[in-house]
């Protein structure tokens, strides 16, 4: 039995669907605060939070591999979910002798300017300290999510809003490509026990991504920018807005990324941004004002 914590999320639901389609038995841990995606429904969905040791003890019963695709960002404090919650999940896995595949982030570091990245680093460290055989997957930003976010900020102006300078090159990766790596790692024991960084095929800034989104929809002009000074003020606020502003400021700082995953795991998909922009345009049809 495979437990997928975060199996209702953007990445997790694709992983669950892939694993079910390949005949695996899958259990999903969810707080149960939202609807269960259709593709996840055939799995065994168990209510509980990664912050609750008793719920985790039940969730790992009969499990030999745990996938963590959870995140509290941006709604809740990553220190609670991505750091402490993942540490509890690792302890629960250790209790039943299960392996763990931890979805972290590219750039996770103890001195990152972003709380989420520090929390992910703490989770990686907790996994390393445990006796569990662990695999860490560090994707760059999910291209599909960012295309949707930029499209949402464009609304009537048809000019996406970029938080900050937005000039740092990023290797936007398709969430489906990340799901394919997670599934490969889950199904092939020889690929486990190591760390993978996964980037997309192109490295462009968020401003350039916004420009390409505009070009793909035929929107004239150029993206708008939320000034860095405004982000500094917002980053001091507690809660979601503060965390998002802090993340935008951190994204303006380039951090080196070394991705050799497609050499180590041959045959992984590498979906071009143009294809993701095209799919997003099709999804948005019918929602245009």
- Return all residues near 120 (Cβ < 8 A) that are at least 6 apart: 78, 82, 83, 104, 105, 108
Alpha helices in the chain (DSSP H): 10-21, 53-59, 78, 86-96, 115-129, 143-154, 175-187, 206-217, 228-234, 240-251, 261-264, 273-284
Size of the site for ligand NAP (CB under 6 A): 27
Per-residue binder mask for ligand NAP (CB under 6 A), 63-102, x = binder: ------xxxx--------x---x-----------------
Among 44, 58, 128, 145, binds ligand NAP (CB under 6 A): 145
Using the rule CB under 6 A, give the single segment among 28-36, 214-222, 252-260, 280-288 that binds ligand NAP. 28-36
d(CA 154, CA 210): 9
Residues in the chain: 289
Assess 147 for contact with ligand NAP (CB under 6 A): no
Cβ–Cβ under 8 Å, residues 223 and 214: yes
Among 2, 17, 59, 103, binds ligand NAP (CB under 6 A): 103
Among 2, 9, 132, 271, binds ligand NAP (CB under 6 A): 9
HSE-CB of 84 using CA atoms within 13 angstroms: 11
Using the rule CB under 6 A, give the single segment among 31-39, 189-197, 234-242, 246-254 that binds ligand NAP. 31-39
User: Closest-CB residue for ligand NAP?
Assistant: 9
Is the CB of 121 or the CB of 142 nearer to ligand NAP? 142
């Amino acid at each position: 039995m495979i437990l997928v914590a975060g199996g209702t999320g953007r990445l997790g639901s694709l992983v669950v669907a892939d694993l079910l389609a390949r005949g695996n038995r899958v259990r999903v841990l969810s707080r149960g605060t939202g609807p269960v995606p259709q593709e996840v429904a055939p799995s065994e969905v168990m209510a509980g939070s990664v912050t609750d040791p008793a719920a985790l003890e039940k969730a790992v019963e009969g499990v030999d591999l745990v996938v963590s695709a959870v995140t509290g960002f941006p709604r809740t404090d990553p220190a609670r979910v991505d750091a402490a919650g993942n540490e509890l999940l690792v302890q629960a896995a250790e209790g039943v002798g299960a392996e763990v595949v931890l979805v972290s982030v590219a750039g996770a570091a103890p001195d990152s300017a972003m709380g989420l990245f520090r929390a992910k680093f703490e989770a990686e460290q907790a996994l390393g300290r445990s006796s569990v055989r662990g695999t860490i997957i560090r994707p760059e930003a999910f291209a599909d999510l960012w295309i949707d976010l930029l499209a949402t900020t464009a609304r009537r102006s048809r000019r996406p809003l970029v938080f900050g300078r937005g000039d740092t090159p990023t290797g936007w990766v398709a969430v489906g490509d990340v799901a394919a790596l997670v599934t490969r790692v889950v199904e092939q024991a020889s690929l486990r026990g190591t760390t993978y960084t996964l980037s997309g095929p192109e490295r462009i800034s968020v401003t350039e991504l916004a420009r390409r989104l505009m070009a793909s929809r035929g929107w004239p002009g150029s993206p708008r920018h939320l000034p860095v000074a405004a982000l500094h003020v917002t980053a001091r606020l507690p809660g979601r807005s503060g965390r998002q502003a802090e993340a935008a400021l951190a994204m303006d700082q380039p951090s080196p990324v070394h991705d050799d995953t497609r050499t180590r795991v041959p045959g992984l998909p590498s979906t071009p941004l143009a294809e993701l922009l095209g799919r997003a345009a099709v999804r948005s049809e019918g929602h245009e004002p």
